[in-house]
Amino acid sequence: MVTFNDLPRPVREQIYTLHLVQGEPVTIEKHRRLVNYKHNYHDNVRSENFSPALLKVSKKIEREAARFYYGENQFDIASVAHAGCLVIGTYPRHLKLVRNVICTWSRYGGATEGFRYLSRLKGLEELTIRVDEKEMVREMCFARDGQLRWSHCSDPTPQQQLTLLRYPGMNGLLSLSGIPHVRFVERLDYNGEKQGGSISGGLLETQVRSKITSQKQRTKSGNISNEDGFRFLSLPPEVRNLVYDLLLRIPGAVSPSTLLPSSVPKYVKQQDRTRPDSALSVLAVNKQIHEEAIGIFYHFNAFQFFYPTRLHAFVISLGDQRQSFLRDVTLHYDNARNGGIDLAELSMPVLQQLPGLRRLRVLLKYELSRRIDRTSRFSHNFHIGKANPAMVPGIRSMFKLRNIDDIKLRDHELEDAMEALKKKPEYPQFADDSKDGCVVKLAAALEHFNIALQEAQKGRVNGELLKDNQWQTRDVFPVLEDLGRERSPEL
């Protein structure tokens, strides 16, 4: 009598393929149906392992057919937190055959435990993770510093991307290794539409992927003898400058903060936290290296501050030498009034202590656009009588700055409103007392104000603009005056 095992091996393998290889990714629900998964709810304990019925016919068939189901299919476990649903209830010998897994990574659920379940798949060759890296960075930035959330329109800086090192599940993901192919792709929203993905050249692509794909090697640490080293200061100055440049020049803006570095583990007791090694440690090696390298960090990097008080604390912590190196500063305006004193009035003048400053951006947070008011409570008419940029606390002190090549005051909400108005067919012919007309008028006033700021850098201060609190409402703005002297009027 001819049995199934008497069929030629290629024929049997074709039958295995038709029976076990699915034409689409195998979800957790589908996998449980195929292996007839059952859970003992009374004991709440898994009492047995499960596999497709064909694999239970005989040991020979199991050895031949298991690789077709576990190795040829792609398992879509949805959230990475559900990885245990695939691993638990599967024979260890079958787990070694799993080659391809796709999952979604979010901050909710047991992501760390899920990635550690995936580490049991010793034969895993392709791991696809759905992510929205920008949104992940924003979530962590907001958790670290609430002021960052309103600036979602800009791409996260490399420094901000480091907050991903504290994202829930990162420790579990970095426990994986030796997976040849790792991809970060777009997430799927509730409608099945793709969104997000990884940032080109971001942390996931440049650092995380390389750690997952590499094999972990255990080596015995040993001290390096003097014969194996060399004297760094013996290198030519040009070569040392290249080293400093690679070490201390950072793409994107640097945001000084007194908070613990982003790479410090999140769930560690405060007294046990140690600051990781910083690139700035090179400045403490010796006096010569300090003198050679300090200017590269402070001169060539752009600095970004999300509070005027943080800018104040940073500048006063620097000596005269480091203050003179700063060239590029972006300040996200924020103000608080305590005891009748505006903190911005105290912090903004600190910019005068930066003699080398050449580029300054002050970004307002609705400070102007929200001052477009109705002429009365029930009126449909609007006015901008209170929307004078010079009346925003601390902004008048910018006219005392000198020799800045590029200085600008911006209001993102006002800029967005202008972009929307430019799409209307009646632009720019709006009624003067309409809200749209006030937006156009205020945008023109802000542009005029920035021209006055630029002229003030040469000592030509528009005195009328600072004295008249209603100049932004006039049909003709105050004309710039060339005072011909290096002093400003009383501010």
- 254 and 392 inside one domain: yes
**What is the reported pLDDT for 280?**
82
Task: Sort strands 337-338 and 341-342 into parallel, antiparallel or unpaired.
Answer: antiparallel
Provide the token pair at 344: 């911005």
When the pLDDT of each residue in the chain is averaged and rounded to a whole number, the result is 85
Q: How sure is the predictor about 359, in pLDDT bands with cuts at 50, 70 and 90? A: very high
Same domain, 153 and 82: yes
Is residue 302 located within the same domain as residue 196?
Answer: no
What local confidence, expressed as pLDDT, does residue 153 receive? 44
Q: Are residues 187 and 246 in the same domain?
A: no
Residue 129 lies in a domain: yes
Task: Identify the CA nearest to 133 among candidates 195, 189, 83, 210.
Answer: 195
Give how many domains the chain has, as a whole number: 2
The number of CA neighbours under 13 Å toward the Cβ of 39 is 6
> What does the pLDDT read at residue 361?
96
431, pLDDT greater than 70: yes
Average pLDDT over every residue of 113-137? 92
202 and 277, same domain (yes or no): no
User: Three-state SS for 462?
Assistant: coil
* 446-475 average pLDDT score: 91
The reply to whether 372 falls in a domain is: yes
Which of 213, 247, 270 represents a domain boundary (last residue)? Answer: 213
Clarify whether residues 276 and 162 are in a common domain: no
56 belongs to a structural domain: yes
Q: Is residue 207 part of a domain?
A: yes
- How would you classify residue 127: left for phi > 0, otherwise alpha for psi between -120 and 50, otherwise beta? beta
Last residue of a domain, one of 148, 179, 213: 213
Same domain, 314 and 402: yes
Q: Is the pLDDT of residue 22 over 60?
A: yes
Instruction: Report yes or no on 255 lying in a domain.
Output: yes
Q: Which residue has the higher pLDDT, 428 or 325?
A: 325
The answer to whether residues 309 and 184 belong to one domain is no
- Same domain, yes or no, for 199 and 306? no
Alpha carbon distance 143, 150 (integer Å): 13
| Burial status of residue 202 (CB atoms within 10 A of its CB: 0-12, 13-18, 19 or more) | buried
**118 pLDDT more than 70:** yes
Distance CA 176, CA 183 (A): 14
Could you tell me if 240 and 187 lie in one domain? no
The rounded percent of the chain whose pLDDT value lies above 90 is 53
For 25-68, write each residue's pLDDT tens digit: 999 999 999 988 876 544 444 446 788 999 989 999 999 999 99
Q: For residue 118, give the nearest of 163, 179, 63, 195 by alpha carbon.
A: 179
- The answer to whether residue 489 sits within a structural domain is no
Tell me if 380 is assigned to some domain.
yes
Tell whether 132 and 271 lie within a shared domain. Answer: no
At which residue do the structure tokens 């908070």 appear?
259
The token pair that represents 353 in the structure block? 């202590």
The residue range of the domain holding 340 is 235-473
Could you tell me if 180 and 104 lie in one domain? yes
pLDDT tens per residue, range 362-412: 999 888 888 998 888 888 899 999 999 999 999 999 999 999 999 999 998
Evaluate whether residue 218 is within a structural domain.
no
